Structure 1
């Protein structure tokens, strides 16, 4: 790399950009750092020149400017007062340039100092405040020329020089303004891209975390089921002839039950995998809740009859929600299945649907076993899937995961309340059909 370019990179990177999280502040830090360097070089040159020419008034002004610059640099670099120092730096620079223009400088050449302002003012203060500051600077100096141009102490500037300087001033200002405008557009796009990447990164983290928990839960369920199956099968093998017919039938029922649980586990696992790969079509439309309820009750009718459960429905016959019908059916099937599973024989299950603003609140209540406070806290956790498998059931617990997934797709929420021995109340919301 070219030594000059290497040195420039070193100077630019010496700015303390790590102290500022926003891209805009990083840019401002680098620019302010560079402008301070240029400022100190220029003022140091003037101090030396004024010493040589024995120009005491300008020597004092330049020394004061150097001291002010050093104090501001300390506040910027050490105290990290970026925005405060930026404003004071621009005000100080503007006052110094105004002072030189109004007093003439060296042989009435101070007008050229005005060309030092547009770049730092617009790039550091931004388009709007920078433009306002430049307009105020021009207004002050124009008023000074108008009121004091006849005074003996006021410099007699050449009109041709004033016109040329003004034209260059305007061109530099437009260039700085255009640069700031383009940077702002690029910055906004970069900020959107950065936000999108952060969301994606968090999504991947959540997905990885959820998959780990999911695999752990499935492994535990499979391990328990297969272990129980193996133990019962081994018992039948070793003690088949010593067992009574009734005992053998009980063990066979247990094997059949475990087999059904494993089959349901695999089905739920396949459903979850399909949801994760987004292969399930999502087709929201106005649907009647009562029809979904009737289909679910018909499906579970044998289980309801077997446990002699009483079902109560409270909803308007024309209650409609805007959601995917298959997903709403799966949500209600999972919740009703749990209510039936944990209800005692002869128990009650109540289902209600009540409108609340632009949402429909559907509640499934049972008076069965209920859940402990610790289990309930895990289930109602806002962390995605953290409650998976928390319900004390003999199934896989994946149904709750699918319920949360489907509700999330349909812009709904899930909430569960329960007490040990008093039953469980599960509520979920869905958007109302217009």
Structure 2
């Protein structure tokens, strides 16, 4: 609990990932750590009889808090970072002469400051900051070499020198470790986000290609057929029987096209907007009455017997319109792949928690080598027993919609002997 609270405070101080870039969050971390280090420097300077350094550090502390405020709350990252780099290089350049020069610990501080600057600076400025740091440090060392009298030995004894150099080294290592660890962890987080985005983009691209393929091929074909039928009806003097047969075919093609278009529109909406279905307890018989009657007529017109055996007064938790769409797709498939003289049965199995709808036919069945593709985008267009056109979209959509409604869908099939689809939904409530 304490760890989680500390993590929450830290994330607030450095800024949330969506609002602040990785560069900004790293810089805010550096600012906070620098503030803590300066807090350490003030009492250490006083203990070593360096009141001027304690006073300078106090002013630097106020400046560092202001720089943090500029970036974190005013979003002036680059301005704050440049001021930070310049001020701290000047500070350590001055401290170099007042802290025993090359015999002291300030060189470690130059390394730390440069590392922190590179961690947050723009890539195009890396060499500028690096050359500046090298030139500054070498200039200080050369000047000390020729003018050692300007160097003030700030250590009272050998023990103080060892403590200062050792503590500065430890602080430098810890700062570099903390900063590198944070950068690496955030890099991995950003990489995972990028990988997920790439995966979603690839998936969307596949969906787009699938959609274009369906529209360009499968949607164009039935429209061409409708146009052909209409041309024949307009230009040809048909006898009543031929005309009736042609009108029947035209009705079938129109029905298939409308069915496909409804599926396509819903599936496209799902891909673009996601699922937002309201779920309620509905009477399954009232929900399916219209759908079943339409499909019954289609089956009878094709010469297929149709049986309906669903529990009465049974309620399931689902979305009325989407559940009808799923069942309509399953029944249309059964009709499509069942030959004249065949049989389709829609029944239900009831237990304490679920109602499972079973749609059984004795049609063509699904070949074994295609069964693992039925609910995927890899399934290709198929033709029914009367050359009814399918797109391969309906069953995949059924699975996606079923899972969105907290249900399950599966099937059993044997090539040449028929198929049974199972559609399971949680119960709403049930009257005995």
User: C-alpha distance in 1, partners of 2:283/2:332?
Assistant: 20
Which residue, 247, 255, 261 being the options, matches 2:256? 261
Q: Give the structure 2 partner of residue 349 of structure 1.
A: 345
User: C-alpha distance in 2, partners of 1:378/1:414?
Assistant: 14
Q: Aligned-pair distance for 1:310?
A: 1.3
User: C-alpha distance in 2, partners of 1:178/1:317?
Assistant: 70
Which residue, 198, 209, 212 being the options, matches 2:209? 212
User: C-alpha distance in 1, partners of 2:398/2:315?
Assistant: 21
Which residue, 386, 389, 394 being the options, matches 2:388? 394
User: C-alpha distance in 2, partners of 1:325/1:196?
Assistant: 37
Q: Give the structure 1 partner of residue 420 of structure 2.
A: 425
Which residue, 237, 247, 253 being the options, matches 1:252? 247
Secondary structure at the counterpart of residue 309 of structure 1: strand
Secondary structure at the counterpart of residue 326 of structure 2: helix
User: C-alpha distance in 2, partners of 1:412/1:184?
Assistant: 44
> TM-score under structure 1 normalisation?
0.51
Secondary structure at the counterpart of residue 413 of structure 2: strand
With over 3 angstroms needed to count, the CA separation of the structure-2 counterparts of 1:252 and 1:331, relative to structure 1, is closer
Secondary structure at the counterpart of residue 371 of structure 1: coil
Larger mean CA deviation between 159-168 and 255-264 belongs to 159-168
With over 3 angstroms needed to count, the CA separation of the structure-2 counterparts of 1:181 and 1:328, relative to structure 1, is farther
Secondary structure at the counterpart of residue 277 of structure 1: helix
With over 3 angstroms needed to count, the CA separation of the structure-2 counterparts of 1:310 and 1:379, relative to structure 1, is same
Q: Give the structure 1 partner of residue 184 of structure 2.
A: 187
Aligned length: 276
> TM-score under structure 2 normalisation?
0.51
Structure 2: gaps (5+ residues) = 1-104, 113-155
Q: Show the 5 A alignment for 1:277-316.
A: 277-278=272-273, 281-284=276-279, 292-293=287-288, 296-297=291-292, 300-303=295-298, 307-313=304-310
Q: Give the structure 2 partner of residue 415 of structure 1.
A: 410
Q: Show the 5 A alignment for 1:77-88.
A: none
Q: Aligned-pair distance for 1:246?
A: 0.8
User: C-alpha distance in 1, partners of 2:275/2:407?
Assistant: 18
User: C-alpha distance in 2, partners of 1:433/1:170?
Assistant: 69
CA contact (8 A) 1:389 1:400 kept: no
CA contact (8 A) 1:379 1:390 kept: no
User: C-alpha distance in 1, partners of 2:278/2:271?
Assistant: 17
Q: What is the root-mean-square deviation of aligned Cα atoms in Å?
A: 4.3
Q: Show the 5 A alignment for 1:20-169.
A: 161-162=158-159, 164-169=161-166
Q: Aligned-pair distance for 1:368?
A: 2.4
User: C-alpha distance in 2, partners of 1:391/1:377?
Assistant: 19
